[in-house]
């Protein structure tokens, strides 16, 4: 019952803020207002948020509304029709997308096998299953722990990846299954995956429903846009905009495989907003080792040990 969940969550959060100044642009308020049941308008009125000011609304749009959409055919991020960047685009390298990477029958079989194991609670309304070594990212410590390998059903997925040139030599050492559901308000905040342990390519298989991967940039650098509209606008000079004002939507169809590498991996954060989880979604993410744990690296030996375990495909969730 999403509406009850949302109302209770917002009431809970507002109660936590009693006795403190409420900052009206906080993430939790924006996220839940987006999906808020408008039949509960009195709650919004109590928070004085039913008629947000123009400045609040502008901040909301910049932070939570993607103003560009990635085009797989051209590799361009194109300005959305109703945004201030309509008719403008810029190259967005480092994204590889394959639709219908697996069949519908394979999808059903994979999810059925996943659901035979327990899903552990995770952050932001997600549940997870981990297949990987024991890691302390803060202290940069790593050991095999209870890791017994990737699951048996992943052997075929990994073999199929070899047909993709961008995944040449890709050897996954870790697999994370995430379960998103709208009734739990599932989401994942914009973030970079660690690059001390994980290598350049992040590979995700999107199952059960479509979603949107939102890419955002915190850099002070500017992005050069060029006009793509036909007619007189095509003679406009390139336009420079702050990277912080740009967010790019990557549309992920059901059963699609997406690879982030290069700039998309290291310069742009990726996340998924609550409003983009409309039905149950399961995501399988595979990660490879960084150079430090690969051939010639400082911890090559440990890397070999972990890969041998991972690619036995005899694992259970840790």
Domains and CATH numbers, the chain: 2-61 (no CATH), 65-310 (2.60.120.590)
What's the pLDDT band for 231 if we cut at 50, 70, 90? Answer: low
C-alpha pair distances (Å), 109 with each of 91, 143, 192, 280: 37, 31, 31, 16
pLDDT in tens, 92-102: 999 999 999 99
For residue 25, pLDDT beyond 90: no
What's the pLDDT band for 57 if we cut at 50, 70, 90? Answer: very low
- Please state the rounded mean pLDDT for residues 53-73: 65
3 state DSSP class of 32: helix
pLDDT in tens, 186-212: 999 999 999 999 999 999 999 999 999
For residue 280, pLDDT beyond 70: yes
For residue 33, pLDDT beyond 70: no
Q: What percent of the chain has pLDDT over 70?
A: 78
DSSP 36-85: --GGGHHHHHHTT-SS--HHHHHHHHHHHS--EEEETTTTEEEE-TTSTT
pLDDT of 134: 96
């Amino acid at each position: 019952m999403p509406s009850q969940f949302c109302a209770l969550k917002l009431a809970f959060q507002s109660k936590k803020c009693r006795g403190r100044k409420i900052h009206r642009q906080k993430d939790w308020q924006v996220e839940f207002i987006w999906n808020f049941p408008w039949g509960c308008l009195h709650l919004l009125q109590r928070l004085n948020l039913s008629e947000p000011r123009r400045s609040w609304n502008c901040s909301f749009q910049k932070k939570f509304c993607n103003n560009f959409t990635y085009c797989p055919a051209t590799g361009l991020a194109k300005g959305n029709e109703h945004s201030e960047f309509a008719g403008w685009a810029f190259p967005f390298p480092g994204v590889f997308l394959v639709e219908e990477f697996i069949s519908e029958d394979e999808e059903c079989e994979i999810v059925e096998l996943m659901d035979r194991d327990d899903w552990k609670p995770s952050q932001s309304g997600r549940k997870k299953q981990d297949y990987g070594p024991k890691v302390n990212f803060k202290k940069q410590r790593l050991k095999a722990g209870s890791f017994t390998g990737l699951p048996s059903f992943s052997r075929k997925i990994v073999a199929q990846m070899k047909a993709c040139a961008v995944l040449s030599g890709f050897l996954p050492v870790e697999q994370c299954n995430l379960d998103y559901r709208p009734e739990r308000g599932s989401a994942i905040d914009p973030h970079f995956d660690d690059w001390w342990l994980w290598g350049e390519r992040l590979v995700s298989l999107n199952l059960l429903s479509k979603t949107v991967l939102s890419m955002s940039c915190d850099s002070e650098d500017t992005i050069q846009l060029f006009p793509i509209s036909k007619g007189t606008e095509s003679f406009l000079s390139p336009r420079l905009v702050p990277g912080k004002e740009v967010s790019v939507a990557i549309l992920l169809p059901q059963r699609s495989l997406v690879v982030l590498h290069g700039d998309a991996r290291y310069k742009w954060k990726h996340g998924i907003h609550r409003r983009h989880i409309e039905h149950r979604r399961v995501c399988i993410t595979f990660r490879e080792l960084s150079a430090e744990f690969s051939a010639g690296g400082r911890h090559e030996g440990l890397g070999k040990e972990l890969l041998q375990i991972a690619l036995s495909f005899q694992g259970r969730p840790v």
